Chain A
Amino acid sequence: MQLLTRTNLQLAAYGLFIVVVMLLPLFMDVFWLNRISKYLVFGMLGIAISMSWGYAGILNLGQGLFFGFGAYMLAMSLKLASPTSLAQGSDEPVPDFMLWTSEPGAPIDLCCINQGSFLWIPFKEQWFGVAMGLVMPTLIALVLGYAMFRARIAGVYVAILTLALCLLVRLLVIDAQPLINGFNGLTDLGWFTVGGLEFDPYLVETYYLIAIITCLVLIGARWLVNTKVGVVLQAIRDNEERVRYLGYDVAVYKVFFFCISAAIAGLAGMLYVIAAEFASPTFMNIGFSISMVVWAAVGGRWSLLGACLGAILLNVVEATVSETETLVEAWQLIIGAIFLFVVLVMPRGLAGFIQQGADWGLDWLHQRVKERRIR
């Protein structure tokens, strides 16, 4: 009976999730695997939201900013790796769209095709794009987080600030037509390549790349919230001021989790580019950022696995429903209704609901065992 504790049940749920994710390729064709790998990426976003919102109480409505940054950084590298970039009349790769808007007679070379094009040069190396995809979101989160949390900005103000910054960057991206193809985003990308292995999105290997990283992120996040840092963070969510008088530098703790959450979102953005083969300013739409919060809320904001599963399940259902034309719009309506219901009636989400059921079951079981012993 010692095995049946709350923690062990949770661990079992994590284990089951990982096993299922690893075995899926046995049951699905590559078309669905590609879809599922995108939803796993959304699951990572759910984890990121759960960490910042559920554990640290930081509601970030601009998570799309970090996701988008990660996506664009890798997409720039992959764009240069695309065959069309090599077929622009130069030995070195040049993104096709740059030529559409370049001055007549401009040299076909990244150094000086237009004012900002030199920024692309280091992205010829894929590792640079990958590194930037992690570094840039973290760096932005560091600066923004530091400015916000030092000034003791909290709650709704954080939500508004992150939202405003996300929209700001989105507009800058749209405006930067010559540099990153503005509104149309980066398409026609090459494949992500590691040691000669090309990650074609419709390949089982690609699925496993994304699945394994998602599972690692899940495990890492779970470890993190179970360290003392995680508990201190929950204490901060509960009563920030009290924590300060214990001697903790609250701002540093918040910035730390904010950065981790941003780095996960950046990683997710990169994986999404590998699976979906494009990056676009729509990643920074408000709707997308708020959708992430919706997934986490429906799955359970206080549960990493719950938030992750919430994202995956909602997207799977959406994909299934969307195959019927008339249901597409209705699905949006249903999503709205589900979300409203969850916020009003079950603020702990599906995970909280299941947890409660499991707790109740465990209590009942332990009670029975006790009774039998007494007899």
Chain B
Amino acid sequence: MADVFFIGLSLSSILLLVALGLAITYGTMGVINMAHGELVMIGAYVTVLCQTHFGLHFLLCIPVAFVVTGAVGYAIERFVVRRLYGRLLDTLLATWALAIIIQQAIRLEFGAAFAGLHIDGLGPGLQNVPIPSFFRETFLVGDFVVQPYRTFIIVLTIGLFILTWWLIFHTSFGMQLRAVSRNRGIASCCGIDDKRINAWTFAYGSALAGAAGVMLAGFKTVSPSMGTPFVIDGFLVVVMGGVGSLFGTLGSAVILGEVQGWVASLLNDVLARAIVFGVIIVVIIIRPQGLFSRRGR
């Protein structure tokens, strides 16, 4: 029982990690970023590159990936998303195009492949990232097997969640962000630089994706197309929890992770995912405003 619960919790934490960034960019800015999964993928590749080329410690990859994907996110907002505010569906399509471009850039090793060059760690192949030994050794607490890496992911996710919550609700940046997300026009009339706020918010949401990417690299094979499923899952989590509700995202991530964990233990992985989609469809149709949101659509 506790095992399955723990597996579910660990799935939840990954969902939450990916969804947290989307909760920021979609939930508060209203931008659907289909390239979010690719930002996760970039985070994973940063880990691969840092380890193969610089021998950087796994844990140190987290801040590096955070900064790199944050910068990529900033650029995306600056050059693409900014031109499409108010055109929600177009943003969705444009960022999907970006997702393809980013994936191909990694596959083609940023063009080096044309010149016949090869950069270690890039290209269309699969990469594996070794995690430090202290993450690999399981130990017992009572008769419960603790997997340190999974536990670390959960702890880190909770940490990032609290950081995000604090940032949005207890800093002046967060206050400006909330003002912009409620009413862009009026906020900018009040002297808030809405462009700056949006750019930094987007960068922060992207940086969270980068952190998620590092953690994923630790237990999944890294490949250019690894990010795509995550963006869909992440969106479904945010929408089901209620757009604009940070705790809603937390709640629905836990629910969906547990559902997937339990069904997988009873039936199989494929059906578990199918049932998760089913749950989401039903929830969205019955409560389009989300499970935990009090605000309307």
Residues of chain A at the chain B interface (Cβ within 8 Å): 59, 147-148, 151-153, 155-157, 159-161, 163-165, 167-168, 171-172, 174-175, 286-287, 290, 293-294, 297, 326, 329-330, 332-333, 335-337, 339-340, 343-344, 347
- Partner among A171, A287, A329 whose Cβ is within 8 Å of the Cβ of B273: A171
| Chain A residues positioned under 8 Å from B98 (CB to CB) | 336, 340
- Residue B235 interfacial (CB < 8 Å): yes
Which B residues between 199 and 239 are near A, CB-CB below 8 angstroms? 228, 232, 235-236, 239
- Judging by beta carbons under 8 Å apart, are A286 and B277 in contact? no
- Judging by beta carbons under 8 Å apart, are B281 and A165 in contact? yes
- Residue B124 interfacial (CB < 8 Å): yes
- The smallest beta-carbon distance between A99 and chain B, in angstroms, is 23
| Chain A residues positioned under 8 Å from B271 (CB to CB) | 171-172, 175
Given A171-B274, A333-B100, A337-B101, does the pair A157, B288 have CB atoms closer than 8 Å?
A: yes
- Residue B268 interfacial (CB < 8 Å): yes
- Residue B108 interfacial (CB < 8 Å): yes
| Chain A residues positioned under 8 Å from B250 (CB to CB) | none
- Partner among A59, A164, A337 whose Cβ is within 8 Å of the Cβ of B277: A164
- Judging by beta carbons under 8 Å apart, are B97 and A153 in contact? no
Q: How distant is the Cα of A286 from the Cα of B100 in the complex, in angstroms? A: 13
| Chain B residues positioned under 8 Å from A344 (CB to CB) | 80, 83-84, 94
- Residue B270 interfacial (CB < 8 Å): yes
Given pairs A168-B274, A293-B93, 18 additional interface contacts (CB within 8 A) = A147-B285, A148-B285, A151-B286, A153-B285, A167-B232, A167-B277, A171-B270, A171-B274, A175-B271, A175-B274, A286-B228, A326-B113, A329-B108, A332-B103, A333-B104, A336-B98, A336-B99, A337-B97
| Chain B residues positioned under 8 Å from A59 (CB to CB) | 89, 92
Main DSSP-derived SS at the B contact region: helix
Q: How distant is the Cα of A343 from the Cα of B96 in the complex, in angstroms? A: 11
| Chain A residues positioned under 8 Å from B277 (CB to CB) | 164-165, 167-168, 171
- Residue B105 interfacial (CB < 8 Å): yes
Q: How distant is the Cα of A112 from the Cα of B93 in the complex, in angstroms? A: 47
- Residue B32 interfacial (CB < 8 Å): yes
Subset of 11 A-B contacts with CB under 8 Å? A151-B288, A153-B285, A155-B88, A156-B89, A164-B232, A164-B281, A171-B274, A333-B100, A336-B104, A344-B83, A344-B84
- Judging by beta carbons under 8 Å apart, are B268 and A159 in contact? no
Given A165-B281, A290-B96, does the pair A326, B288 have CB atoms closer than 8 Å?
A: no
- Residue B178 interfacial (CB < 8 Å): no
| Chain B residues positioned under 8 Å from A339 (CB to CB) | 93-94, 96-97, 100
Q: How distant is the Cα of A273 from the Cα of B228 in the complex, in angstroms? A: 27
* Interface contact tally, CB-CB below 8 A: 115
- Residue B3 interfacial (CB < 8 Å): no
- Residue B156 interfacial (CB < 8 Å): no
- Residue B284 interfacial (CB < 8 Å): yes
Which B residues between 73 and 117 are near A, CB-CB below 8 angstroms? 80, 83-84, 87-90, 92-94, 96-101, 103-105, 107-108, 113-114
3 cross-chain pairs, A with B, having the tightest CB-CB distances, nearest first: A336-B100, A168-B277, A333-B104
- Partner among A153, A163, A332 whose Cβ is within 8 Å of the Cβ of B288: A153
- Judging by beta carbons under 8 Å apart, are A175 and B281 in contact? no
- Give the nearest-CB partner of B107 in chain A: A329
- Residue B278 interfacial (CB < 8 Å): yes
- Give the nearest-CB partner of A332 in chain B: B104
Q: How distant is the Cα of A332 from the Cα of B101 in the complex, in angstroms? A: 8
- Give the nearest-CB partner of B281 in chain A: A164
- The smallest beta-carbon distance between B166 and chain A, in angstroms, is 28
- The smallest beta-carbon distance between B181 and chain A, in angstroms, is 16
- The smallest beta-carbon distance between A180 and chain B, in angstroms, is 14
- Judging by beta carbons under 8 Å apart, are A157 and B239 in contact? yes
| Chain A residues positioned under 8 Å from B286 (CB to CB) | 151
- Residue B280 interfacial (CB < 8 Å): yes
| Chain A residues positioned under 8 Å from B278 (CB to CB) | 168
- Judging by beta carbons under 8 Å apart, are B284 and A157 in contact? yes
- Partner among B88, B93, B105 whose Cβ is within 8 Å of the Cβ of A343: B93
Q: How distant is the Cα of A336 from the Cα of B106 in the complex, in angstroms? A: 14
Q: How distant is the Cα of A153 from the Cα of B239 in the complex, in angstroms? A: 13
Q: How distant is the Cα of A298 from the Cα of B286 in the complex, in angstroms? A: 35
